[in-house]
């Protein structure tokens, strides 16, 4: 089976690129299951009901997120009402939503998606390694295909989780830094890995934001409202061929596809 994972969708430019390119990719590669990170999809920060309604038309099977999922108050209720929208599983008990979802392909193959957040240079959350271990142990035996979105700042932490889960999941895919890395591969135990899938959004920017706004903050250290950039929009993703009988990855293909909005 073929799984397509799409990296952080940033604002309206990212949503437009996703809407234009996703159906073509699904058809061209005969994709069976689609996972999209949407934590930056509403104006670059968070998600809203209106944005989710827009994305609903695209046939995405599961939506992952990260630390910005909390940025839009109107989007928080979605975490409890929409089981396909995940927040990182290692937030404290009492946080809305869930970090794990089990869906199915059209052919009835079960696919688990696990969302985790790193701790290095980020929040002091529960250990993502131990949380992953615990949640994976609780999956039904017939769930063999498992995709992990590790939303994380440090490349070392992402790579460490990849090796920690090698042979236990189908893929460990890094998100958050918005810069696609060229290290996609299948690890020795059969787990597909990429340190960061990259963003689906404007690349003439500083991680999706207009560079003049970001430069002002760096140069003056004063608050400056960020604004989503508009130029050089691309879709970043990764295609993973998975043996559905074992859950092990056979191959990976990195994608970075231009879209003129």
Active-site annotation, residues: 68
Q: Can you tell me whether residue 99 is helix, strand or coil?
A: coil
Rounded CA gap, 64 and 149, in Å?
A: 7
Rounded CA gap, 6 and 183, in Å?
A: 16
- Asked if 184 and 253 touch (Cβ cutoff 8 Å), the reply is yes
Q: What is the dihedral of CA 60, 61, 64, 68, to 10 degrees?
A: 40
E-strand ranges in 28-161 read: 33-37, 62-64, 100-104, 110-117, 145-151
The set of residues, in sequence order, having a beta carbon less than 8 Å from that of 27 and lying 6+ positions away, is: none
Rounded CA gap, 226 and 204, in Å?
A: 14
């Amino acid at each position: 089976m073929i799984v397509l994972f799409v990296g952080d969708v940033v604002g309206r430019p990212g949503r437009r690129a996703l809407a234009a390119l996703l159906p073509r990719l699904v058809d061209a590669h005969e994709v069976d299951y689609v996972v999209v990170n949407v934590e930056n999809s509403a104006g670059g920060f968070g998600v809203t009901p209106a944005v989710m309604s827009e994305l609903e038309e695209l046939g995405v099977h599961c939506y992952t997120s990260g630390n910005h999922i909390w940025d839009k108050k109107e989007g928080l209720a979605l975490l409890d009402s929409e089981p396909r929208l995940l927040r990182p599983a290692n937030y404290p008990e009492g946080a809305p939503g869930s970090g794990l979802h089990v869906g199915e392909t059209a052919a009835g193959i079960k696919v688990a998606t696990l969302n985790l957040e790193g701790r290095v240079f980020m929040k002091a959350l529960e250990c993502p390694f131990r949380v992953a271990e615990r949640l994976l142990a609780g999956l039904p035996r017939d769930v063999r295909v498992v995709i992990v979105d590790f939303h994380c700042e440090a490349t070392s932490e992402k790579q460490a989780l990849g090796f920690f889960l090698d042979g236990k999941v189908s893929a460990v895919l890094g998100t958050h830094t918005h810069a696609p890395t060229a290290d996609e591969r299948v690890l020795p135990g059969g787990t597909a890995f990429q340190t960061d899938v990259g963003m689906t959004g404007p690349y003439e920017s500083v991680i999706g934001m207009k560079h003049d706004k970001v430069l002002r903050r760096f140069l003056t250290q004063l608050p400056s409202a960020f604004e989503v950039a508009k130029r050089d929009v691309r879709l970043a993703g990764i295609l993973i061929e998975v043996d559905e009988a074992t859950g092990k990855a056979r191959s990976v293909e990195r994608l970075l596809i231009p879209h003129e909005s």
